[in-house]
Amino acid sequence: MDHAEFRIKAKEMVDYIADYLENIRDRRVYPGVQPGYLHKLLPKEAPINSEKWDNIFKDVEEHIMPGLVHWQSPHMHAYFPALTSYPSIMGDMLSSALNVLCFTWASSPAGTELETIAMNWLGKLLGLPDCFLNEKNESPGGGVIQTTASEATLVSLLAARTRALMELAQLNPDVQSAELLGHLICYCSDQAHSSVEKAGLIGLVRMRYIESDENQSMRGAQLEEAILSDKAKGLVPFWVCATLGTTGSVAFDNLREIGEVCERHAAWLHVDAAYAGSAFVCPEFRNWLNGVELADSFAFNPSKWLMVNFDCTAMWVKDSTALHRTFNVNPIYLRHENSGKAIDYMLGSEKANVKKSIVQTQIEDKTQASKQYDIKLNGDSGNNSGDDPYDEDGLHGYNKISPGCGNKIQLENPDKKEMLHWQIPLSRRFRALKLWFVLRNYGVVGLQKHIRESVRLAQKFEALVLADQRFEIPQSRNLGMVAFRLKGDNTLTERLLKRLNAKGYIHAVPACFKGVYVIRFTVTSQRTTNQDILDDWNEIKTVAKEILLEVFG
């Protein structure tokens, strides 16, 4: 394809995209194909010679489209939204064409700086405390765009693990790191996403699941009880993941209670707000953020509900040097003459120098240092009574970074020129472009309107369900998701969901709350109308009637 052909075919592609999105309501949302269908339709080998574009593209409509789930459809209610929008598509188009890699500032200065600016805008839009922002490159906090919430969780866990291992190694210089690792333990609720469990598996650390309360929320008291019991066994609690908006029921862990527990026990607190984070652009939903200043890292997916197409996970950390310690490599080919004057998302800033190190004094003073984890590895579980002779300043031995940001440990050495690493891969796409386009093209008012409309439509659906005696909503609705079921045995709802998906007019997935099977109905499209909700409800009622007739006659 040359320039001339690209000009023509790409314009046709734009029309195809606009037609697709404009008329998406007419497509069956869930495909009716069987596994292996595409293998039967496409050749087994790549073509030897170049094929004409029109030939290639013909196969898209004929073979590919029938095998897709149409995530942008108003009748898509499965999972969480994965929305795109025109400004986002434009951002991705341009980013794909430029194909710049933004790992260091020098590899693409505008790419790096736009990411910092867009992440600061977004952080402010959510109402995050200043300590998570990176303004004028002066604070150790800042935002970075990761690919997925799973990756953000893993990065956070690894950073916390490194911090804990470094401290333990200082206290126990003769103990092998593998043995130290065996003492680490982290926590999340029994409702946390499977990616949290996966992060623990990759990080080779034990994970303890805290039983959530009747609202599926992890509470501080249960967490602290577990931490104290683990400490008594000689374990070292080092990381806690709180979820704001659980996958099953959009439940919210109690961030303030959990944050206070983490602070008491020097554990890193990560907040996974993958879906619900978008809602915080609206001030009326920010009550769930109460206590966020106690977190060390916070992540959500603008690629879910905020209409920035996949992939785009916004992650903020309070102390980016913690990430650096975890991913510290510094090959000569990645250094550049402006290292230290700007952020390098893969590496490179000297801003760590501005901060005062406390680790050296802690290490010199072993009694203070051991208090950080209240543990020595000989099984002495330390003193958790709070009755502490060293606690005169009320800081529990932690340095204060800035007012309103909690009291957190800092470990960096001020004499070393730190190279900061924010992620696992080296190469990174210019994702900030699509985020920046969306923030500007919608504006704060447009984004708030979009979130509020989704919530309003979910409320409408909720009211329809509640008005029908045959159905129930076991967990109260939060934000844009309603988890409902047919009253009675789980098998009724299972059959209902199976048949709805087989018909393909709407698509939803299940969840299970303490043995109770439900259908999750998420409002996923910015194009959903009142009529769409009514149509979907009619479809659900029709299929439910069939099933109830079959079962009860």
Q: Which value, in Å, is the radius of gyration of the alpha carbons in the chain?
A: 26
Contacts of 18 (CB under 8 A, 6+ apart): none
Query: How do 297-300 and 313-317 pair as beta strands?
Result: antiparallel
Number of residues that bind ligand PLP (CB under 6 A): 14
Cβ 52 vs Cβ 269: under 8 Å: no
Amino acid at 280: F
> What is the nearest approach in angstroms of ligand PLP to the Cβ of residue 548?
31
Contacts with ligand PLP in 64-93 (CB under 6 A)? Answer: 80
Rule CB under 6 A: is residue 374 a binding residue for ligand PLP? no
CB-side neighbour CA atoms (13 Å) of 140: 27
Residue 239 or 398: the one with the smaller Cβ distance to ligand PLP is 239
Counting contacts by CB under 6 A, is residue 149 touching ligand PLP? Answer: yes
339 contacts ligand PLP (rule: CB under 6 A): no
- For residue 214, the Cα-to-chain-centroid distance in whole angstroms is 24
Beta carbon of residue 336, minimum distance to ligand PLP (angstroms, whole number): 31
Answer for which of 313, 362, 410, 522 binds ligand PLP (CB under 6 A) is: 313
Nearer to ligand PLP, 108 or 195 (CB): 195
Decide: is 275 part of the binding site for ligand PLP (CB under 6 A).
yes
Site for ligand PLP in 156-215 (CB under 6 A): 193, 195
Residue range at the interface with ligand PLP (CB under 6 A); choices 261-269, 272-280, 405-413, 499-507: 272-280
For position 301 contacting ligand PLP by CB under 6 A, the verdict is: yes
Residue 67 DSSP label? G
Q: By CB under 6 A, which span of 148-156, 428-436, 444-452, 543-551 interacts with ligand PLP?
A: 148-156
Whether residue 351 contacts residue 140, with contact meaning beta carbons closer than 8 Å, is answered with yes
Those residues with Cβ within 8 angstroms of residue 312's Cβ, 6 or more apart along the chain or in another chain: 145, 301, 302, 303, 431, 434, 435
Cβ 286 to ligand PLP, closest distance in Å?
18
Amino acid identity for residue 124 in this structure = K
Rank residues 301 and 454 by Cβ distance to ligand PLP and give the closer one: 301
3-state helix, strand, coil in the chain (%, to 5): 45, 10, 40
Q: Of these, 150, 216, 249, 525, which contacts ligand PLP (CB under 6 A)?
A: 150
User: Of 214-243, which residues contact ligand PLP (CB under 6 A)?
Assistant: 243
- Residue 314 in contact with residue 145, Cβ under 8 Å? yes
**What are the backbone dihedrals phi and psi of residue 70, each rounded to the nearest 5 degrees, phi first?**
-95, 90
Nearest alpha-carbon partner for 123 in 263, 292, 353, 356: 292
Cβ 152 to ligand PLP, closest distance in Å?
Answer: 8
Is 148 one of the binding residues for ligand PLP (CB under 6 A)? yes
Q: Give the residues lining the site for ligand PLP (CB under 6 A).
A: 80, 148-150, 193, 195, 243, 246-247, 272, 274-275, 301, 313
